[in-house]
Structure 1
């Protein structure tokens, strides 16, 4: 099959590649409906117990058991992905969490992405990632977020159509959770250029704990 010109089928293929990549991020969100289903089943069971209807109670108990099993399976799958793709960020101690985030953003994430971006099957024309500076205040609102979002800028790669699509799909194997935006293509194969944006998502193990008194408590320094 010749890939010298872009045709409708190529656009369909691009869309399919993007669906695969989107699916990785959706996988991290799959625990939410399972958790909600479990909570709803638990509420129905509690209601049936109060009413004392044995048939309703048995049905609600069976539904609760199934919801609990589904939740456990989803949680186990999520735990595997978290171990593979997430840095160890725990913000329950804001000061220590901030230092860990500094290490991730300044020392780890950039070199990790630049190293992964080098694909021998295509020519990487541009892979300079733009990572926002980390917060300098442990009370920054970022530490209260469920997920940290890092827009990374765009990467440009050159090559044939099939290698370019494999290059895009390759981000599924990165040790961080990377979302690939819609690519733009120019030229003709095997001299096509694909430019696509990247976004990194990081889920901390725990959100920020109690706020830190940055100024100190003047009363605590006074003798009784």
Structure 2
């Protein structure tokens, strides 16, 4: 199991922000790679993906940096099938992987957030109003070459994790995984930070979450 320390960021995140301001806030955090191309025999294409994550008293700050051959952002309404687009995801559990949140955003900032157990019949989506409290800032680089590069910074209010106590995160150990997918891209792919050992594509397997510690 991989382990990652989420470091604090000295900001209260009050007021409005833009991509560059948030990028400056997380500039000293360490990049981590999505090194596992799960199910590579069936889905051999592997884009380059890395992420960094920090936290304040009020929010998580999560940045993804992606280089891939095709960009797709077809879904514009919350809780639509964003995993079919160019999509980055955080799955996180605060109760030792009994329940977990899946936070999924496509490259144009459309979000989907669910909560429950791995049994899909127990899972529910958060409301559109709750999901829209997550701020998503995207930057897309257009240049010649085979890969297109895009980056996203998400400000995820701790209030999103409404079924858990997030009032004092320092020193707390939780579990989670980070993903990149694109089910309806010309070359579908399923990348993860912590390896998912399952015969078919499935990110909803908390037994393969890594360990996250709030520093």
Shared fold (TM-score greater than 0.5)?
Answer: no
Q: Please state which structure has a larger fraction of its residues in strand.
A: 2
TM-score class normalised by the smaller sequence: under 0.3
TM-score when normalising by structure 2:
0.26
Q: Please state which structure has a larger fraction of its residues in helix.
A: 1
- Structure having the higher Rg: 1
